[in-house]
Amino acid sequence: MSTLYLVSTPIGNLEDLSARAIRILNEVNLIAAEDTRHTAKLLNHFGIRTRSTSYYDHNKGQKIGKVLDALAAGDVALVSDAGTPGLNDPGYLLVRAALDAGHTVSPIPGPSAPISALVVSGLPTDQFLYLGYLPRKAGERRRVIEEVEALRYTLIFFETPHRMEEALADLEEILGDRQIAVAGELTKLYEEVFRGSISAARNHFKDHPARGEYTLIVDGQNKEDKLWEEGDVRHAVKSPPYSQMPPSQAARELAEKSGWPRRKIYELLTKTDE
């Protein structure tokens, strides 16, 4: 049986395409690309003449069968516009289909935006959670953040420039003023990594508007703090200073100290009189 190669491509600097990736892209019978026009620039730069076809989110239903037909005749490479295919794109569907059909699936390691941002962030790398793009809608975005606020993993998100301000505001309100690294243009001429508190990041991007897509690396729940017992939390919400604060402020501050999710504390604060 033939092989589906998952070939990582540069996230900016073309020098990051490995020698093995170049060889595989030359040897396969077909390249399945997220955007054939974008990939053509990379292929032309390295003199690769392999035939390509598009495979992306909106045509995956029609294209999986065609790619499997190509695999029946020989090896195929899957590439995304930048980075490692299969992360935050429909590549996993093709991988599953190839495996079910009995083909070998093999990675050609290389650039990855979330991993590159993580290792330069200055935040813990021993345990992390990758969550892809934050949702566009504010309510959905806040729910996603609330679901991970008590986790002690370093958190990785993608964000677009026009939603950066709202995303940082939601992160600060729900998670507290944690440490964050915001990475953009990695491996390119104007590479930028902002490191500091979330509030400082908000101020930075007010003065330096975001351009291009960014990777956000956010510190997890404080790993030094012991999670409070439920009785201690219930006592705190009924006592000063938290009982004298607006519920949203009290929930945020108490969540930072107790290790409890802000949402659960807010529910306790608003139900104390029942």
Q: Please give the share of the chain, as a percent, with pLDDT higher than 70.
A: 97
> What average pLDDT does this structure show over 206-223?
89
Single out the residue of 182, 199, 207 nearest to residue 113, CA to CA: 182
Is 0.95 topped by the overall pTM? no
Res 251: pLDDT: 87
Strands 104-108 and 3-7: parallel
Res 153: pLDDT: 95
Single out the residue of 58, 46, 51, 55 nearest to residue 9, CA to CA: 46
Give yes or no for residue 16 having a pLDDT over 90.
Answer: yes
Average pLDDT, the chain: 92
Give yes or no for residue 190 having a pLDDT over 80.
Answer: yes
Reading the block at residue 225, the tokens are 């703090």
Amino acid at 137: K
Question: CA 168 to CA 164: how far, in whole Å?
Answer: 6
Question: CA 76 to CA 129: how far, in whole Å?
Answer: 30
pLDDT in tens, 29-83: 999 999 999 999 999 999 999 999 999 999 998 999 999 999 999 999 999 999 9
Question: CA 146 to CA 196: how far, in whole Å?
Answer: 21
- Regarding predicted confidence, which is higher, 211 or 96? 96
pLDDT in tens, 155-184: 999 999 999 999 999 999 888 889 999 999
Single out the residue of 25, 64, 63 nearest to residue 44, CA to CA: 25
pLDDT band at 27 (very low <50, low <70, confident <90, very high): very high
Shared fold status for 3-111 and 114-218: no
The least confident of 67-71, 124-128, 222-226 is 222-226
Q: Please give the share of the chain, as a percent, with pLDDT higher than 90.
A: 73
Reading the block at residue 256, the tokens are 């930072």
Give yes or no for residue 272 having a pLDDT over 60.
Answer: no
Single out the residue of 67, 20, 10, 4 nearest to residue 41, CA to CA: 10
Question: CA 165 to CA 210: how far, in whole Å?
Answer: 9
Phi, psi of 192 (to 5 degrees): -140, 135
- Is residue 30 within 8 Å of residue 53, measured between CB atoms? yes
Give yes or no for residue 268 having a pLDDT over 90.
Answer: no
pLDDT in tens, 129-138: 999 999 999 9
Residue spans per domain, the chain: 3-111, 114-218, 230-270
Give yes or no for residue 274 having a pLDDT over 60.
Answer: no
**Contact residues for 64 (Cβ-Cβ < 8 A; gap 6+):** 55, 93, 94, 97
Res 225: pLDDT: 57
Give yes or no for residue 189 having a pLDDT over 50.
Answer: yes
**Contact residues for 197 (Cβ-Cβ < 8 A; gap 6+):** 177, 178, 179, 180
Q: Domain 114-218: which CATH class?
A: alpha beta
CATH assignment of 3-111, given 3.40.1010.10, 3.30.110.40, 3.30.365.10, 3.30.1390.20? Answer: 3.40.1010.10
